[in-house]
Amino acid sequence: MAASKALITAAVLSWSHEGAFLPGFLRSREIPFGMIAAFPDYRVLESRRTGFRWTKGLADHWFRRRPLRRADVVFALSTFTARQLTEIMGVAPGRIQRPIGACHPCSLRSHGAGDPRFPGLSILGR
């Protein structure tokens, strides 16, 4: 019987609110955490109305803004999104990366993200 090999997680990339509980856990294990910021317009997200304003505010902070702010890197698929991440969501500009070719629907190439921990990133349009 062959000995099992330990699996090593090089990095974790989250798409949305499922990453809300990951940053602290991953940081304690020295695993980089990234988010893909793909909401079409963060102003719309922030201005949604509900009868439960306090609950919405808490949920938006915990599940929307907090993971983006705590991520080691946030991939913005457009310049517009990158600007909104900084201005509306409070993400530090130095954490935002724009993958080359991210908005091209036929792009399937490895692109450096500018961070040595992320030597390549495969993007398949959005």
pLDDT tens track for 64-90:
888 899 999 999 988 899 999 999 999
Q: What's the mean pLDDT in 84-113? A: 70
pTM above threshold 0.95: no
Residue 87: predicted pLDDT: 94
Compute, in degrees rounded to 10, the torsion defined by CA atoms 82, 95, 23, 123: 60
Q: Name 121's bridge partners.
A: 111
Residue 3: predicted pLDDT: 57
Residue 125: predicted pLDDT: 39
Cα(87)–Cα(109) distance, rounded to whole angstroms? 30
Residue 4: predicted pLDDT: 58
The number of domains in the chain is: 1
Write out pLDDT tens, residues 4-39: 566 677 788 888 777 888 888 888 988 888 999 888
The SS3 assignment for 36 reads strand
Does residue 56 lie within any of the structural domains?
yes
Cα(75)–Cα(19) distance, rounded to whole angstroms? 14
Residue 108: predicted pLDDT: 38
* DSSP labels, 47-73: H---S-HHHHHHHHIIIIIHHHHH-SE
Q: Would you tell me how many other CB atoms lie within 10 Å of the CB of residue 100?
A: 14
What kind and span of H or E run contains 87? helix 79-87
Does residue 21 lie within any of the structural domains?
no
Provide the residue range defining the domain that includes 77.
34-122
Does residue 8 lie within any of the structural domains?
no
Percentage of the chain modeled with pLDDT above 90: 21
Write out pLDDT tens, residues 38-57: 888 888 877 776 667 778 77
Does residue 71 lie within any of the structural domains?
yes
Q: What's the mean pLDDT in 87-114? A: 67
Task: Answer yes or no: are the C-beta atoms of 108 and 122 closer than 8 Å.
Answer: yes
